[in-house]
Amino acid sequence: MKSGYQFNVKHDHIQIVCDPDFEITKESVMEQWKRLAETCKKTNLRKVLVEACAPKRSMTVAGAQESGSFFEKEGISALSMAFCFTNYETDKLSDFFETVGYNRGIQIKFFNDPKKALKWLEISEEQPMA
């Protein structure tokens, strides 16, 4: 089964690169989050860069809430997640997802600019963006 994304463990963060046809759904995100939680626990890394180009999204408010609450339920705290989505406009659902994460100790922010995402994560090393 094709996952629709690649995980890359760097020395200071975890990079998730989504395939061009990746669609943001509750199911696809929860699959990613389960793998990410395992990786965070194994590596003790807490900075995550998620990259995608104009991802499609089929997510409900309930799905966004569950997604934003996932890491707290897994016992993972102090997680910083930068979503660098080119050709993507944030909306109320994106804002809601950020708020749910924040209320559970997870920092979430959306970016269109890779350099700004890396700076926000405090990652000094330039990484090629997908």
SS3 assignment, position 68: helix
Local structure of residue 112 (DSSP, 8 states): S
pLDDT per residue as tens digits for the range 77-124:
899 999 999 988 889 999 999 999 999 999 999 999 989 999 999 997
Given a cut of 80, whether residue 5 has pLDDT beyond it is: yes
As given in the structure block, the two tokens for residue 48 are 């995550």
Q: Which fold has domain 5-121?
A: Transcription Regulator spoIIAA (3.30.750)
Q: Considering the entire predicted model, what is its pTM? A: 0.89
Local structure of residue 12 (DSSP, 8 states): S
Domain boundaries, the chain: 5-121
Given a cut of 70, whether residue 127 has pLDDT beyond it is: no
